[in-house]
Amino acid sequence: MKKNLALVGAADSIGVPYTKDNLNHQGFFELIERSLSEKYNVVSINCFHMSTNNDNAYINKLISDNISLSEIKKTQNQMLKKCKYSGIYPYLELPKSFLNRYQIDAGDEKIIVKDYIRDNETVFIYSALTNDLLKSRNLSLFKLLRPGKLRKELKEISLNNVLCDLEANITKLIALNANTKIYIIGLFVPTKIPYIRANLSEFITEVNKRLDAMSKKYNSVFLVDNSNLSSEDFNNIDFHPNKAGHEKIYYNFIRQYDGLS
């Protein structure tokens, strides 16, 4: 008989598989769900969204308040429409057919995120860093497209507060359920644009070193190494992975999950 497993993914837009080349819109989270379903009865709680809000604060809310899966899906669809029509994401190739991606099912209002984490063996896919770093400097990704601006901000940005928020959530998750395994999605060098890739590479390597050191402090926290993503895993100027990029992140997760990394 299969054991129950809560699979939770949160919270940034890296987990939203919207690109046009990804015809069935299967991202790394969906691929992980399919793989784990071979062994477990998986209750999947997908909290990835297109908001530019502080993602660690959002995760803190998910694991502290009584937030239902139906509430999460409503917010996800609202953010997709905002991205498509407000112009705040001018470079995203967001298909119109993707706008109602998150269908609310009967019973979703009874799935309270923190309760499912507390009461079940849990795998938590944690991706929440980029938006918080940008917010700390009052930036958006698109303000960084000028080479001079990018280099200047990378010299001044501080990781400490964001990493403190992330680690506070980790300790809170472990306190909520000691049987929770937390997989932090490591950062990767994004886009096809050469100067962005060249300027971000060293910074992202340093971020991942800090995340790796943090993960090693806990027996149930693991860093998913995504340093193998290349320019071919992105479409044009987009900072989000395409289908090939999502598949790489999935296989990187599986390597870590199976203890092969």
pLDDT in tens, 99-128: 889 999 999 999 999 999 999 999 999 999
Report phi then psi at 137, rounded to 5.
Answer: -115, 10
Q: What is the mean pLDDT of the chain?
A: 91
Domain containing residue 54: 3-257
Q: What is the pLDDT of residues 48-86, one digit of tens each?
A: 998 877 899 999 999 999 999 999 999 999 988 887 776
160 CB-contact burial (10 Å; exposed 0-12 / middle 13-18 / buried 19+): exposed
Q: What is the pLDDT of residue 131?
A: 87
Q: Which amino acid belongs to residue 193?
A: I
Q: What is the pLDDT of residue 149?
A: 74
Overall number of domains in the chain: 1
Q: What is the pLDDT of residue 237?
A: 81
Q: What is the pLDDT of residue 45?
A: 98
Q: What is the pLDDT of residues 18-27, one digit of tens each?
A: 988 998 999 9
Q: What is the pLDDT of residues 131-153, one digit of tens each?
A: 888 888 777 666 666 767 777 87
Asked whether the predicted pLDDT for residue 95 surpasses 80, the reply is no
Domain of 110: which CATH number?
A: 3.40.50.1110
Of residues 96 and 68, more confidently modeled:
68
Tokens 């799935």 map to which residue?
111
Q: How far apart are CA 77 and CA 189, in angstroms?
A: 27
